[in-house]
Amino acid sequence: MLKRELILRNPVQSLAGESESILRAGHFGGILARAGVGKTALIVQIALHAMLNGRNVLHVSLNQPVTRTNLWYREIFGDIARQMRIERAEALWEEILPHRFIMTFRTEGFSVPKLEERLTDLIEQKIFLPRLLIIDGLSFDEPQREALAGLKHYARLNELGVWFSIRTHRHEEPGPGGLPRQLLDVEDLFEVALSLVPAGEEIHVNVLKGITLPPEHAHLALDPATMLVKSRIP
């Protein structure tokens, strides 16, 4: 009951609509923003939403150690629990923690085949069976189509939804349809795309493709104090 209450009261649920999952198996989702705007904060909230729904999340970090990535989860979960006045928050954290596995790579040592090899080891040895994969820190400034197409095939075979944090740049103009340049050559591989845009004292969460928000949460933002998703007044 406690988990269900937290899920339903959290504005992140609005990204999933009436479903328990924001991203379907085999689908790609991207969170696009400039450096330091909140990509990791949002992607961790999406991961926590999945964990609360009993789905296993594999978080692959290319630019942070395990301790720092874990701290993101602890801090954001703590902020959510305090904001929603959740009792027994520590017990709930311990309950959902087995649904998360953190894997790190050095950026220069990362490749999709290496990731698939380590994923396959986890699955075949029954160490961890992920249903959601997060790749935080992969550069989209260089061509990635071939690698992403291979990962897309792997994700479909293994029923994985895959989220990416994608860094954009202030000086770049958007391409056709308002999509950032980083998605132009791979846009067809992505079913969902969200962008984070600083606006005054808020960071707006804009849907670029793939999600229809309900009227009561039609406008979302990140609170700059906590980086939690909230509904905003347009």
- Per-residue confidence at 2, pLDDT binned at 50, 70, 90? low
pLDDT, mean of residues 24-40: 95
DSSP 8-state class, residue 175: -
* pLDDT reading at 1 higher than 60: no
Please return the burial class of 215, using the count of CB atoms within 10 Å of its CB with bins 0-12, 13-18 and 19+. exposed
* pLDDT reading at 109 higher than 90: no
Cα 19 from Cα 227, distance rounded (Å): 24
DSSP 8-state class, residue 33: E
- Edge-to-edge strand order for the sheet containing 202-209? 100-104, 57-61, 132-136, 161-167, 28-33, 192-199, 202-209, 220-222, 229-231
Domain span at residue 149 reads 2-231
pLDDT in tens, 38-93: 999 999 999 999 999 999 999 999 988 999 999 999 999 999 988 888 888 899 99
pTM of the model: 0.93
Which candidate, 73, 22, 5, 83, places its Cα nearest to that of 205?
22
* pLDDT reading at 216 higher than 90: no
Q: List C-alpha distances in Å: 38 to 4, 34, 67, 229.
A: 26, 8, 19, 10
Tokens at 142, concatenated? 């260089």
* pLDDT reading at 8 higher than 90: no
Range name among 1-15, 23-37, 134-148 with the lowest pLDDT average: 1-15
Assign residue 29 the CATH number of its domain.
3.40.50.300
* 38 in Cβ contact with 222 (< 8 Å): yes
Rg over CA atoms, the chain: 17
- Per-residue confidence at 233, pLDDT binned at 50, 70, 90? confident
* 3-state SS assignment for residue 12: helix
* 166 in Cβ contact with 31 (< 8 Å): yes
Residue 95 CB neighbours (<10 A)? 15
Q: What is the count of structural domains for the chain?
A: 1
pLDDT at 55: 95
